[in-house]
Structure 1
Amino acid sequence: MEYSHIAPQFRSVMELSDLERIKFMEEARWVDYPAGNKLLDLLNGLLLKPPRPRMPNVLVVGASNSGKTTVIHRFKKLCGAPYISDDGVSVRPVVYAEIHKPDERELYNAILDNFWAPHNPAAPLAKLRHQAIHLIREARTRMLIIDEIHTVNNGSPTKKADVMNELKMLANILQIPLVLVGTRVALQLLRLDPQYSSRFEVLSLPNWEVNPDFQRFLKSFESVLPLKKPSKLFSPDLATLIHAISEGITGNVEYLLQECAKEAIQTGSELIDRRLLEKNQWMRPTNGSRERIL
């Protein structure tokens, strides 16, 4: 069987066992889509900016599970992979760190953890800051990405301002672009001080609408699902149902289709149809969570 609905580079997967096909499906895999590709292009343009006293910075926002972090990791893989320079320096073009509470030490500990650098998490802030800045400069880093920035909003007004001022200072000292990533709650941080809003351009990763772009995304996504029969997820009927269940959020679409494909393999139906999608409407987010009745 030719499996013309599967991307050519993945057709050999169709000869694997059911368990192996499910394992393949659960591996991280990039699927092109317009908003994601546009964000990749914008970040790449930012990375190529020559140093200057006030570098452009961006805040990337979107709904929870909208694919923000997936795009960031794709960018790191394509443009930020470490390498050894001609003069023997271990270069890290992009440094990525996640923070989970509104605290300056959390910021620097996350950066130092990314370098696998020995450090004392409880050390004085000045020492952590000095060590992080030294490593970033030594690695000739050209972009600093801070993910989950919306968690800073959990702090008091003073703690929020402290973290944002620390980030502003880092951008000034290092003269590299700063990319903050978070949910739309993070927009509140830019309203704390006019200086913050003037320093950051906001890039929004939107939810899908039921349109040709969404249908093309579903067709591309179907081409990496190792099902033996074509599902035609891009058809208007199925596309509308998938959008309703997922609320147009990229991560929810992926989770829904992977779970349905897994069941299709296990039951032997080998395709995702309306019945299977309707059966899995429990995946529709409710107050940010999913509940499966067992």
Structure 2
Amino acid sequence: MADHLLDHVRPYLERSLEDRIAYIRAPRWVGHHGAMQALERLNELLCRSPSLRTRGLMLVGPYANGKTMIAERFAVAHLNACESQRVWVVQTREGAGLAHFYASILRALRAPMGNSRDVGRKAEQVDHLLDGLKPRILIFDEFHNALRGRSRDVDAVLAFLRRIGRQFDISPVLIGEVAVYDFINATDEMASRFELLGVPRWRYDEEFFALLDSLEGALPLARRSDLSDEKLAREIFRLSEGLIGEIVAIVAAARSGAERITLLSIDELDYVPVSRRRRLRDGLL
């Protein structure tokens, strides 16, 4: 009796090993408290009254901690529920300067761009599209990429965020590393326009144990793994460094032939934590 599994997961035990492995390795939504709070706040932005000075949101935290998945979950739910698209996700391009920033928006809005590097022309095209599409929320993922240019370009990007609220009634949502918070809070004027929602690393506590229990219930393995037991939980926490993306990756990869996750199967992964990966990369450069 697979009573450790969620009801909708149990039928997967009857499928082939290949199907179950594919299911285990597939990206999955983890509806923990912080994620649900962020979705609720995003929905409030979507349902707000019109304003000439719209407020936005900063979703800030370390890499591999679920920020992008929250944004994508919200955007997809909106598309499924509404006839017209009012939420657009912009993948902010790497590379300094306004040309890259505007190109990110044009790509997200599925507009032809050509090879022009005329910033003024791109700005006009963006304005024309925003006026026609009338988005309610623009989500800028990896927004820290837009903050690496010359100070005048960064100032222009921040001015753009202010202007789209006044001119198009758009709430900007900025997703990225802690640098986003530092830039936005450099002036009182910008700080007053954005609410902060932090996505911190997980701590080794009861919430972390509950997360492991929920992951165990979501993976179609025939035997109970008891992931929240002390030894297993400690090792998963050590390797993941408290990042939810790493936690899920470790658990999904550590399936053993015994239809359960064990300390040995985790050790056999030879998993390298994020901080060590960075040091290894720096040593190769």
The TM-score, its normalising length taken from structure 2, stands at 0.89
* Alpha-carbon contact 1:55-1:176 (below 8 Å) kept: yes
Question: Per the alignment, in what secondary structure is the counterpart of residue 266 of structure 2?
Answer: helix
Aligned-residue CA RMSD in angstroms? 2.1
What is the CA-CA distance between 1:82 and the residue it aligns to?
Answer: 7.8
Does residue 1:45 correspond to 2:38, yes or no? no
Aligned to 1:273: 262
Deviation per CA, 1:85-107, whole angstroms, max 9, x where unpaired? xxxxxx21101101123322222
Distance 1:244 1:159 in 2: 40
Distance 1:170 1:212 in 2: 42
* Alpha-carbon contact 1:82-1:93 (below 8 Å) kept: no
Percent identity of paired positions between Structure 1 and Structure 2: 26
Aligned to 1:148: 142
Alignment of 1:79-118 (within 5 A): 79-81=78-80, 83-84=82-83, 91-99=84-92, 100-118=94-112
Q: Which runs of 5+ in 2 are unaligned?
A: 281-285
Distance 1:172 1:105 in 2: 22
Aligned to 1:87: none
Residue correspondences, number: 279
Q: Which runs of 5+ in 1 are unaligned?
A: 85-90
What is the CA-CA distance between 1:233 and the residue it aligns to?
Answer: 0.9
Question: Per the alignment, in what secondary structure is the counterpart of residue 282 of structure 1?
Answer: coil
Aligned to 1:88: none
Distance 1:13 1:211 in 2: 30
The TM-score, its normalising length taken from structure 1, stands at 0.87
Alignment of 1:151-170 (within 5 A): 151-170=145-164
* Alpha-carbon contact 2:66-2:245 (below 8 Å) kept: yes
* Alpha-carbon contact 1:256-1:283 (below 8 Å) kept: no
**Larger deviation: 105-114 or 43-52?**
105-114
Deviation per CA, 1:157-211, whole angstroms, max 9, x where unpaired? 2222222222222232212211010011222322444322222222111111122
Aligned-partner residue type, residue 93 of structure 1: R
**Larger deviation: 282-291 or 196-205?**
282-291
Label 1:244 to 1:24 Cα distance change in 2 as closer, same or farther (>3 A): same
1:252 pairs, out of 236, 246, 253, with: 246
Distance 1:149 1:288 in 2: 23
What is the CA-CA distance between 1:288 and the residue it aligns to?
Answer: 5.0
Question: Per the alignment, in what secondary structure is the counterpart of residue 60 of structure 1?
Answer: strand
* Alpha-carbon contact 1:96-1:114 (below 8 Å) kept: yes
What is the CA-CA distance between 1:37 and the residue it aligns to?
Answer: 0.8
Distance 2:233 2:181 in 1: 31
Distance 1:112 1:75 in 2: 21
